[in-house]
Amino acid sequence: MGRVPNPLYPVGRHLSPLAVMVPILCLSVPASSQDLQARMTLTEAVEFAVEHSGIMGAARAGTEALEGKLKQAEWAAWPHIKIRSLLAPMPRQWSAPDDFTKGGTDLSQWGVFSHTEITGYLPLYTFGKISNLKAAARLGVDVGKAREDIARQEVKFRVTRAFHALTLSGELADVVSEGRSYLDKARRHLEELEESDDPEFDPVDMMKFRVYDAQVLAKELEAKRSAGLAGAALKVAMGLAPRTDVEFRTGTVKPVNLAGDLQEADLVDQALLSRAELVALKRGILVREAQVRAREAAFYPNFLLAGQFKYSYTNMADGQASPFIYDPFNGYSAGGGLVFEWDLEIGGKLGELREAKAEFAKLREEAREAENGIRLEVAKLYREMRDQRLLVDAQKVAMEAARGWVIAKTDLYDNDLTPLNEVLDGLVQFFQTRMAYLEAVYRFNVAVAQLERATGAPLRRDAAPDE
């Protein structure tokens, strides 16, 4: 806690946002494909992942383990009863009728011997040992639920990031396709000049086309490969096998709508209030405090109500009529009363108390450090999101200018009013600005998702139907 996470890997011009999806393929455990929709939106994918992700399953199992400890603590105040029963073979035991001091064992005759013993005790007053134990266990369950919230936020972020990457890969493929259409149009014009022996034809231009054609082909193959990788990464983030037959309704790459005018100070306050990691730490502090009180109570005695019942029987020995004669083979006894119990191992208890206080102080310092770290993390992510929003707007203007540039130059080239070099320059700028815009939108959307995870609160407006 308290450490500001590293930002996303930088995005280049070779579908690099999809590189962040590769580690996900090794982090999730395939889950059942039940409840899958035919074409899942982002909201449906997140809901499915929260139910089926291995991360969430591990967090829920951790909470169940803590609930088991709570049950143990609650039963500490109830009666504790133990039953022990023995059944064994036994030879004949005899004694003289007129003198019980004379007797022996006859190994020629065998029978059975049974002994049953029931013991139990009920805590009456323990000076807070049990109450503090139960308080610590209840708070431990709260810690487990906070860890579930941490896992839920992590799963939501991974699925959201993978979904945006899948949307980006599809859009980049469309960009490459559109760019090829402009290139093919210019090439057809060049081929017409060659076939008609037009003096404007330059063989060097055809060589240039072959170079650009290979570059566009590389982009096409890369886009197709990246789309498959992004889809597999999204499935794994949801807790599915990479080859699960499911489709996603990705829509188009567009900036997410923020819920109102977000301010840095408000987001920091929201994170300090709602951040699951901080909630878990604060609950953990209360757990440590209860454990300290339990260690302090260990110095005091316990008052118990205890009882015992014993019963023995054998067919190989006669019972004794006198209650003053010890008879381990036939008979019963019962008793009970108030028990005073005091463990005077003071040295060990002092060590345990010191350890509990140290753990308590350590967690308080960690919580304080975590608060400072969260303040810094939220401020950093907010400013990154704000800057990405500005880049999106700037790249959109550049993209529209580049589109007009390439269209104008292509039309002029068709009418032999501009050289091929200017058409190719326009195509290069079109590729670069269009991809830069899409990648800027992707980075902005991921920055919003990161900020949502950091604050523990939703920051977007209601998702559109295709999200």
Q: Please tell me the predicted confidence (pLDDT) of residue 327.
A: 82
> Which stretches does DSSP call E strand in 126-198?
none
Q: What is the mean pLDDT of the chain?
A: 82
Q: Please tell me the predicted confidence (pLDDT) of residue 220.
A: 73
Q: Please tell me the predicted confidence (pLDDT) of residue 236.
A: 86
Q: Please tell me the predicted confidence (pLDDT) of residue 233.
A: 85
Top-confidence residue, 196 or 449: 449
Q: Please tell me the predicted confidence (pLDDT) of residue 28.
A: 42
Euclidean distance between the first and the last CA atom of the chain, given in angstroms as a whole number: 32
* Residue entry with tokens 């096998």: 241
Examine the pLDDT at 420 and tell me if it is beyond 70. Answer: no
Scanning 7-122, the segments in alpha helix (DSSP H) are: 42-52, 54-75
Residue pLDDT, tens place only, 369-379:
999 999 999 99
Q: Distance between CA atoms of 297 and 301, rounded to whole angstroms?
A: 8
Q: Distance between CA atoms of 247 and 134, rounded to whole angstroms?
A: 48
Examine the pLDDT at 334 and tell me if it is beyond 50. Answer: yes
Examine the pLDDT at 48 and tell me if it is beyond 80. Answer: yes
Residue 179: partners with Cβ closer than 8 Å, 6 or more residues away: 216, 219, 427, 430, 431, 434
Instruction: Give the distance from CA 353 to its chain's centroid.
Output: 33
Q: b vs e for 22-45, b when ≥16 Cβ sit within 10 Å of the residue's Cβ?
A: eebeeebebbebeebeeebbbebb
Of the candidates 382, 383, 399, 381, the residue with the CA atom closest to the CA atom of residue 437: 399
H or E element that contains 339: strand 331-341
Q: Distance between CA atoms of 445 and 388, rounded to whole angstroms?
A: 9
Q: Distance between CA atoms of 15 and 435, rounded to whole angstroms?
A: 9
Q: Please tell me the predicted confidence (pLDDT) of residue 100.
A: 64
Average pLDDT over every residue of 400-412: 78
Confidence of residue 342 (pLDDT cuts 50, 70, 90): very high
Q: How far is CA 113 from CA 2, 66, 93, 110, 319, in A?
A: 67, 44, 11, 10, 13
* Residue entry with tokens 């878990």: 280
Strands 99-125 and 80-96: antiparallel
Residue pLDDT, tens place only, 426-447:
777 777 888 889 889 999 999 9
Strands 302-314 and 80-96: unpaired
Of the candidates 212, 190, 213, the residue with the CA atom closest to the CA atom of residue 203: 190
Q: Distance between CA atoms of 110 and 341, rounded to whole angstroms?
A: 43
Average pLDDT over every residue of 216-225: 76
On whether the CB atoms of residues 187 and 413 are closer than 8 A, the answer is: no
Q: Please tell me the predicted confidence (pLDDT) of residue 21.
A: 43
Q: Please tell me the predicted confidence (pLDDT) of residue 34.
A: 52
Global pTM exceeds 0.85: no
Residue pLDDT, tens place only, 185-209:
767 777 777 777 767 666 776 777 7
Average pLDDT over every residue of 160-166: 89
Fold of the CATH domain 16-76+125-299+342-455: Outer membrane efflux proteins (OEP) (1.20.1600)
H or E element that contains 233: helix 203-237
Confidence of residue 251 (pLDDT cuts 50, 70, 90): confident
* Residue entry with tokens 């900020």: 451
Confidence of residue 467 (pLDDT cuts 50, 70, 90): very low
Q: Distance between CA atoms of 345 and 347, rounded to whole angstroms?
A: 6
Examine the pLDDT at 240 and tell me if it is beyond 80. Answer: yes
Of the candidates 210, 188, 176, the residue with the CA atom closest to the CA atom of residue 414: 188
Average pLDDT over every residue of 150-178: 86
Q: Please tell me the predicted confidence (pLDDT) of residue 414.
A: 67
Average pLDDT over every residue of 21-43: 56
Confidence of residue 27 (pLDDT cuts 50, 70, 90): very low
Domain boundaries, the chain: 16-76+125-299+342-455
Confidence of residue 126 (pLDDT cuts 50, 70, 90): very high
Examine the pLDDT at 150 and tell me if it is beyond 70. Answer: yes
Residue 460 DSSP symbol:
B
Q: Please tell me the predicted confidence (pLDDT) of residue 428.
A: 74
Residue type at position 181: S
On whether the CB atoms of residues 398 and 431 are closer than 8 A, the answer is: no
Quick one: three-class SS letters along 391-406?
Answer: HHHHHHHHHHHHHHHH
Q: Which two tokens stand for residue 238?
A: 């949801």
Q: How many CB atoms lie within 10 A of CB 150?
A: 19
Residue pLDDT, tens place only, 85-108:
999 999 998 877 666 667 788 888
Q: Distance between CA atoms of 162 and 235, rounded to whole angstroms?
A: 9
Top-confidence residue, 395 or 19: 395
On whether the CB atoms of residues 103 and 93 are closer than 8 A, the answer is: yes
